[in-house]
Amino acid sequence: MSSTIELENKFCAHNYNPLPVVLSRGNGVFVWDENGKKYLDMMSAYSAVSHGHANPRLVEVVKNQVAKLTIVSRAYYTDQLGEFLKLACELTRQDMALPMNTGAEAVETAIKAARKWGYEVKGIETDKAEIIACTGNFHGRTITIIAMSDEPQYQYGFGPYPAGFKLVQYGDAEALEKLITPHTAAFLVEPIQGEGGIVVPPKGYLKTCQEICRKHNVLLIADEIQTGLGRTGSLLACDHENVVPDGLILGKALGGGILPVSMFLSKREVMEVFTPGDHGSTFGGNPLASAVGLEALKILIEEKLPERSKEMGNYLIGKLHGLDSPLISGIRGRGLFVGIEIDPALASAREICEALMERGLLSKETHETVVRLAPPLIIRRDEIDWAVDQISEVLQDMDRIRLAS
């Protein structure tokens, strides 16, 4: 094993199980390992690198801003934050935004906003507010957020958990309506579940959830940390059903693959529950992050990345459907957000990811049975052709070995 891997394994907590490759450089859709071997990045850091590695426009903005002003905290106004949030609000049809850094912090912000809105605007009895989340959800790793999870491994050993959360079957709008009570402040949902295994709900699900939430005065909050910003072939995954949620959470690609940048956006009525001192973050909305986030949004629009995601995603999914392998039990996805479901009786998604890595294609398994394909949105047709050839050959190899044994 490489000594670099040994070093990391010795000093870094084992809270991940990385593929055995040591990356040292990235450019566009490619990364290189410490020996100079080139890989096509079909994972893009769980969709954080939608703009491609070392995007030249983003690198330029960082260089200028890093020498000018980086961190001052929100104790002061800066010449970067307002422009950034203005564009984010205009593009997502929201009124106001609260900037944070990681996705989990923005989810926590959404929960705080929903609860306080529940008490101050909806009139829910003190400390009785409920938030409904979905089975199979992933919203991050803080204690409060994992309290909403039904994945035993996310929770085991970390209790006790805060109260006030309920779970409803993902994709079942009727069940949502049944679960709502006068104490329900919000329904928190991923338009497509990412970590859950690229799970696409039935057509019209989000729209129906929106109608139900309206009817019962419940906030519809969309966690688009992974699905947002072009990943699924439209700017937001909510746009596919023309749903404007009451609250929206963005992260990952918002930082252009350079910095952690996240935010909670909402209608004015919701965001106005926050007053000075209620909530904050030392780094949230700093000028460097704001400059990067603003440019990341401009690139998405000017370079039509959501449209590219749609076109290339359809192309990729079409080609994957053409693969005739008994190992594949399903192909799901939208835009460049694709999961290949592997029949666990025949192979593990992990083995496939390792074999793809040998061939220079980086992917990552999710939930043992799904190979995730979510490349930078700048990927080209010929690169997809090459990737699908590798996948096809790996599946054929593994099927041959399986039949021989």
Ligand X SMILES: *Cc1c(COP(=O)(O)O)cnc(C)c1O
Q: Using CA atoms, how far apart are residues 15 and 350, in angstroms rounded to an integer?
A: 17
Residue 86 bears catalytic tag: no
Q: How far is the CB of 125 from ligand X (least distance, A)?
A: 29
- Do the Cβ atoms of 194 and 47 come closer than 8 Å? yes
Which residue is catalytic, options 138, 264, 274, 337? Answer: 138
x/- binding map, residues 347-386, to ligand X, per CB under 6 A? Answer: ----------------------------------------
Please return the burial class of 35, using the count of CB atoms within 10 Å of its CB with bins 0-12, 13-18 and 19+.
Answer: exposed
Our finding on whether 281 is near ligand X (CB under 6 A) is no
Report 83-122 residues binding ligand X (CB under 6 A): 102-104, 107
Neighbours of 278 (CB within 10 A): 10
How big is the chain, counted in residues? 405
- Comparing CA positions, the residue from 290, 292, 293 lying closest to residue 80 is 290
DSSP-derived 3-state class of residue 193: strand
Q: 381-404 vs 305-321: helix axis angle to the nearest 10?
A: 30
Q: How far is the CB of 249 from ligand X (least distance, A)?
A: 7
Q: Which residue's CB is nearer to ligand X, number 124 or number 230?
A: 230
Instruction: Tell me the window of 160-168, 222-230, 324-332, 351-359 that interacts with ligand X (CB under 6 A).
Output: 222-230
Our finding on whether 398 is near ligand X (CB under 6 A) is no
Kindly state the tokens that stand for 13. Answer: 């907590």
Q: 287-302 vs 56-68: helix axis angle to the nearest 10?
A: 160
Q: Which of 52, 118, 140, 313 binds ligand X (CB under 6 A)?
A: 140
Q: Which of 39, 117, 138, 205 binds ligand X (CB under 6 A)?
A: 138
Q: Of all residues in this chain, which one has the CB nearest to ligand X in the complex?
A: 103
Q: How far is the CB of 120 from ligand X (least distance, A)?
A: 26
Q: Which residue's CB is nearer to ligand X, number 138 or number 274?
A: 138
Strand order across the beta sheet in which 338-342 lies: 328-333, 338-342, 370-373, 364-366
Q: Using CA atoms, how far apart are residues 392 and 86, in angstroms rounded to an integer?
A: 45
Q: How far is the CB of 102 from ligand X (least distance, A)?
A: 4
Our finding on whether 223 is near ligand X (CB under 6 A) is yes
Q: Which residue's CB is nearer to ligand X, number 100 or number 312?
A: 100
Q: Which of 139, 240, 308, 364 binds ligand X (CB under 6 A)?
A: 139
Q: Which residue's CB is nearer to ligand X, number 290 or number 390?
A: 290
Q: Which residue's CB is nearer to ligand X, number 150 or number 354?
A: 150
Residue 223 bears catalytic tag: yes
Residue 79 bears catalytic tag: no
Q: Using CA atoms, how far apart are residues 177 and 168, in angstroms rounded to an integer?
A: 10
Which residue is catalytic, options 116, 122, 252, 319? Answer: 252
What's the longest Cα–Cα distance across the chain? 68
Q: How far is the CB of 178 from ligand X (least distance, A)?
A: 25
Phi, then psi, of 189 in degrees rounded to 5: -145, 145
**Host H or E run for residue 26:** strand 23-27
Phi, then psi, of 292 in degrees rounded to 5: -65, -45
Report 189-208 residues binding ligand X (CB under 6 A): 190, 194-195
Kindly state the tokens that stand for 334. Answer: 């939208």
List, in order, residues 6 or more apart from 340 with CB less than 8 Å away.
320, 328, 330, 331, 349, 370, 371, 373, 391
Q: Which of 30, 32, 46, 386 binds ligand X (CB under 6 A)?
A: 46
Report 237-266 residues binding ligand X (CB under 6 A): 251-252
Q: How far is the CB of 107 from ligand X (least distance, A)?
A: 6
Binding site for ligand X (CB under 6 A): 46, 102-104, 107, 138-140, 190, 194-195, 223, 225-226, 251-252
Catalytic residue set: 138, 223, 252
